[in-house]
Chains A and B, each alone.
Chain A
Amino acid sequence: MTPKAEAVTQDSKDEEAINRQETRLALKRFGRKRWNLIPILQKVQARLGYLPREAMVEIAAYLGIPEIDVYGVVTFYNQFRLNPPGKHSIRVCLGTACHMKGGYITLDAWKRRLDINSGETTADREFDLDTVACVGCCTMAPVTVVDNQPEGKVEPTKVDGILLAFELVREAEKKEAKQ
């Protein structure tokens, strides 16, 4: 293993241990009843920002239910995330108006540029991508909500523009850090 790869695995091991610990702490307040599953998942997600594998394993063991049943509930509801939140959140609107105005093309552009699928997070944890159904500003369709800020007329070229702006900010920050 290269030193860098080693550092990465060490990092993810630490993270896993923290996640386990946080999950156990959250579990303390709940009875070991199956019907507590959803409130537990909500609590753990509120602490960790998402539901990592190790958290689901802990929860299943605590409730004495199959791990696949926890996974089944997590994948059923939109409110649960399987991936860590990115620094920036990208929400592509696929509501009726945005759908008509080519929201799917916009979504495809985001997927291609970020190289992830909807519901996923980039490896550097800069961006997470998801869809929403109508954010209430249909006249601006197709809409993408970037860090809670709705952006209108987001055609693929605008996707590039938004990403470029983030890139510039990052570079400026890097420069500043060096000085």
Chain B
Amino acid sequence: MKTISLKIDGKQITAREGDNLLWVALDNGIYIPNLCAIRDKPEPMAACRLCFVEMSGQTQPVTACTETVTEGMEVNTRGTEALRLARRGFELLMASNRVDCAHCVRSGSCELQKIAHHLGTKLKSKRLRELRRDLPVDNSHPQIRYDPNRCVLCGRCVWVCQEHLKTGALGFAYRGFERVVTTFKDEPLATTRCDQCLKCVEVCPTGALLPKEKARAEARLRA
């Protein structure tokens, strides 16, 4: 494949033609907020709407995860319009998310904190009314604790689960505000065909899927 050169935030970068812009940026140490991007997935989901950038030849900001790099391309990850869109998306996402960093073991390694920091916003906006879902936590599994209230529906766990098991245990169900990552018939994780590969826990960007020992440490934190 042809190598090409492009500029991201003024930095000269070489990449292979046709590579995905988001991963080119990330691999070159330029952070663009993202939740739903999966490196090996051929079709990007483009669902989280956080990876907006501004680009030469485009009047509107575009999602980096759906762009491929071309020769001479100039990208600005810091444009005001792009950041405004990303902030708005993040704000909406967080309005239905349970934020309790003081009692969360992912605090410090949480992607949501990283994104808030990068965008210069708070995790919770004061403008939007909080819409919580109060879903039951699934503690059935010997290795995993799943708290859907901290899930941002990025779909990373669903993807790895389906890749690993072929007919996977995790998936999306319901519609609109009720949309949730769940199991067949919302049955306890322990009763599914999960073979405990724990890849879902690895890729979860938040504290929604936690290994049991971390979940226990967290319970002690609360006590």
**Which A residues are within 8 Å of any B CB, using their own CB?**
53, 56, 60, 64-72, 75-76
A contact face: mostly helix, strand, loop, or mixed = helix
Size category of the B interface is 10 to 19
**Which B residues are within 8 Å of any A CB, using their own CB?**
162, 165, 167-175, 182-185
CA distance A13 to B182 in the complex (A): 26
A127 CB, min distance to chain B CBs, angstroms: 23
Question: Could you list 12 examples of A-B contacts with CB < 8 Å?
Answer: A56-B185, A65-B167, A66-B162, A66-B169, A66-B171, A66-B184, A68-B168, A68-B169, A72-B173, A75-B173, A76-B173, A76-B174
Are A75 and B184 also in contact (CB < 8 A) when A64-B167, A66-B167, A68-B168 are? Answer: no
Closest to B158 in A: A68
Instruction: Give the number of residue pairs across the A-B interface with Cβ within 8 Å.
Output: 39
B5 CB, min distance to chain A CBs, angstroms: 41
Would you call B168 and A71 a contact (CB within 8 A)?
A: no
Closest to A76 in B: B175
Chain A positions within 8 Å of B185 at CB level: 53, 56, 71
Would you call A75 and B174 a contact (CB within 8 A)?
A: yes
Closest to A70 in B: B184
Closest to B184 in A: A67
Would you call B167 and A75 a contact (CB within 8 A)?
A: no
